[in-house]
Structure 1
Amino acid sequence: MGANYRAACRAKSNADFINKLKIVEEEADDSMYFLEIFLVISEKEHQEIKRLLKEANELLSIVVASINTMRKKLN
């Protein structure tokens, strides 16, 4: 997520920025998926996995809000 967000910050246009943020959104969702799997198969560290899931969800919400804001600016 971090590397893709950094790439988004160096976007060449607003459309490019949105496109790169969509990649960040995908990566955040992928990360959440794997954390959910770890939660199911893990015998310990449930609190840490839940904390990471919460943080990933918060980051995903921020990215989606940013995408929506940029789309509104373009219209």
Structure 2
Amino acid sequence: MISKQLLRSGTSIGANIEEALAGQSKRDFISKMSISSKEARETKYWLRLLKESDLTNIDVTDILSDIHELIRLLTAIVKTSQQSLTKN
């Protein structure tokens, strides 16, 4: 079901960010943030699928916009962290 997949990927984003913040190393932080980014992309997929289906009347346009921004932020965090890791 789409709802279960959406719940799983959507809640995984925050869980992995929390794990990243408590990371034991910079590499651990980058790894967990990368997973968060991937989960955000999966969440975007499920939201798009939900929007294009006739399964519900819920308008997810604003949520899709929010998840797109979240993906941009997570991608920037990962890239910046990777760059700072290679400089040291």
Please tell me whether residue 45 in structure 1 is matched to residue 45 in structure 2.
no
Count of residues paired in the alignment: 73
Match of 2:37 among 25, 31, 38: 25
The separation in 2 between residues aligned to 1:14 and 1:34, in whole angstroms, is: 30
Please tell me whether residue 64 in structure 1 is matched to residue 75 in structure 2.
yes
Q: Which runs of 4+ in 1 moved over 2 A?
A: 42-46
Structure 1: gaps (5+ residues): none
Structure 2: gaps (5+ residues): 1-12
Partner of 1:39, secondary structure, is helix
* TM-score (ref. length: structure 2): 0.78
Q: Alpha carbon RMSD of aligned pairs, Å? A: 1.0
The separation in 2 between residues aligned to 1:54 and 1:26, in whole angstroms, is: 16
Partner of 2:57, secondary structure, is coil
